[in-house]
Amino acid sequence: MIPVSGFDGARVAVLGLGRSGLSSARALRAGGADVICWDDSPLARAAAEAEDFALADLGRDGALDGVARLIVSPGIPHLYPAPNRVVAAAYVAGVPVDNDIGLFFRSFATAGWAAFDQPPRVIAVTGSNGKSTTSALIHHILCESGRDAQLAGNIGRGVLDIDPPRDGGAVVLELSSYQTELARALTPDIAVFTNLSADHLDRHAGLGGYFAAKRRLFAEGGPDRAVIGVDEAEGRFLANQLSEAPADDRVIRVSSGAKLTGPGWQVFARKGFLAEYRKGRQAGSIDLRPIRGLPGAHNHQNACAAYAACRAMGLAPRVIEGAMHSFPGLPHRSQIVAEAGGVAFVNDSKATNVDSALKALLAFDRVRWICGGLEKEGGLAALKPGLANVLKAYVIGREAEGFALQLDGVEAEVCTTMERAVARAHEEAQAGETVLLAPAAASFDQYDNFEQRGDDFAARVRAAIGSGQ
């Protein structure tokens, strides 16, 4: 645990008692704070009571009197589409609002670091797509190289649940826009921006607000090194804002598909090959094609970002390459769950939006595509470049017929259920083809979350292969 500093004897309120909320409450108490908690869910309140935390309805008049700080869980809106009633009351009362990420950055460094030969470092990763894989890959590479590393944030452990770092240790954080937007302290040593595509627009009042939330990690934090994906205009803007000159190597530009030139520091992938250039000269290269845990151009972008972050940590190119070959990939993200009869079955349930589903389709040839679910705003037109790889679509979800009608030029079978979709795809697939779950939609019409959907796909695949149906 990282005890929270700066609130010894102070009264601090915690709103939302999920993983991050309870973690914040424990870390605040460990740092000497007088903690009061609230969640609208009776089950969540019971969990806090079981740990002897005091409960108080923070929305009642006077509940925030004497409170030094309100700590808010990521899922609770603090501005758009409208502030939560407790957050709104804190604004009126002048109570500062923060989250667990802000508490982490204000408490991570301690006086004990003076005895370390090398101070611990924090690598923070944000962006729309690929940040989980990028974070996990950085962590994997650091561990394989012998570094003491921990993975936390949106992946791994809660940020305040990690162990106090040892001499020369590293913490890799995956941070969402919900977390970066509200945190009052953001001071990573290395910050990574993967890419930007439309998502969570209601929470941020549009794409500009969404990008602004991501940008805070760099503008507020002032990292020593910034790794910036420049395949979108927002990334190019951000890299330009952080650079003082063309040769400024505090910014490492990253691309998947475009050759980057100039006197600065660049890492890019083209046709499956990663290349690193610094001061106009090539400094490293990796053939990414045989790395099974990183299939497709979107994962090559993740590989470039992770490579750049690890190079900024001082690792050699050959060390990074060796670690990449042993990276198993993440569940529900281009995860090969089975192979039978020359057919690969790939679980990309995390492809909950059109952009991530398109990248999954482009990663494989001859695809039998399982798609559908709770459709997001914007329609499916942006999928068109990837539809040429689709042999047939097997559509699931309560609105499967409407989803199928939007897949122009693609043979589509309305299956509704995962069981039916997997059975039909398995029955029709031939050697050399890929059965791919990349829904391009949320899971909530049939599942609690994308993980449950991916697990169902994997279970149905195993059943189909085992029965030989």
For the segment 63-77, the average pLDDT, to the nearest whole number, is 96
Counting residues of the chain whose pLDDT is more than 90, the rounded percentage is 88
pLDDT-based confidence at residue 295 (cuts at 50, 70, 90): confident
pTM for the whole structure:
0.86
pLDDT of residue 200: 78
Mean pLDDT rounded to a whole number for the chain: 94
In the predicted structure, residue 386 carries a pLDDT above the cut 90: yes
**Backbone φ and ψ of 82, nearest 5°:** -165, 145
* CA end-to-end distance (rounded Å), the chain: 50
In the predicted structure, residue 458 carries a pLDDT above the cut 80: yes
Question: For 437-453, how does the pLDDT look when each residue is reduced to its tens digit (9 = 90+)?
Answer: 999 999 999 999 999 99
pLDDT of residue 379: 87
For the segment 31-48, the average pLDDT, to the nearest whole number, is 96
What is the CATH code of the structural domain delimited by 11-98?
Answer: 3.40.50.720
In the predicted structure, residue 156 carries a pLDDT above the cut 90: no
| Strand-pair partners of 345 | 338, 435
Cα–Cα distance for residue pair 415/394, rounded to 1 Å: 6
In the predicted structure, residue 468 carries a pLDDT above the cut 80: no
Torsion from C-alpha of 131, 133, 138, 143, nearest 10 degrees: 140
Q: Alpha carbon of 255 to those of 111, 235, 273: distances in Å?
A: 39, 10, 12
Tell me whether domains 103-325 and 335-464 share a fold: no
Per CATH, which fold does 335-464 belong to? Protein-Tyrosine Phosphatase; Chain A (3.90.190)
In the predicted structure, residue 353 carries a pLDDT above the cut 60: yes
pLDDT of residue 257: 87
pLDDT of residue 304: 98
Counting residues of the chain whose pLDDT is more than 70, the rounded percentage is 99
For the segment 61-75, the average pLDDT, to the nearest whole number, is 95
In the predicted structure, residue 300 carries a pLDDT above the cut 60: yes
pLDDT-based confidence at residue 305 (cuts at 50, 70, 90): very high
Known binding residues for ATP: 127-133
Strands (E), 73-202: 97-98, 121-126, 149-153, 170-174, 190-193
Instruction: For domain 103-325, give its CATH number from 2.40.50.140, 3.40.1190.10, 3.50.80.10, 2.60.120.380.
Output: 3.40.1190.10
Domain extents in the chain: 11-98, 103-325, 335-464
Question: For 257-278, how does the pLDDT look when each residue is reduced to its tens digit (9 = 90+)?
Answer: 899 999 999 999 999 999 999 9
pLDDT of residue 467: 66
For the segment 238-250, the average pLDDT, to the nearest whole number, is 95
DSSP string, 232-272: SHHHHHHHHHH-SSTT-TTEEEEEESS---SSSEEEEEETT
pLDDT-based confidence at residue 376 (cuts at 50, 70, 90): confident
pLDDT-based confidence at residue 424 (cuts at 50, 70, 90): very high
Cα–Cα distance for residue pair 295/229, rounded to 1 Å: 18
For the segment 92-121, the average pLDDT, to the nearest whole number, is 95
One-letter amino acid of 51? E
Question: For 183-194, how does the pLDDT look when each residue is reduced to its tens digit (9 = 90+)?
Answer: 999 999 999 999
Known binding residues: 127-133
Report which of 71, 15, 13 is spatially closest to residue 41, judged by C-alpha positions.
Answer: 15
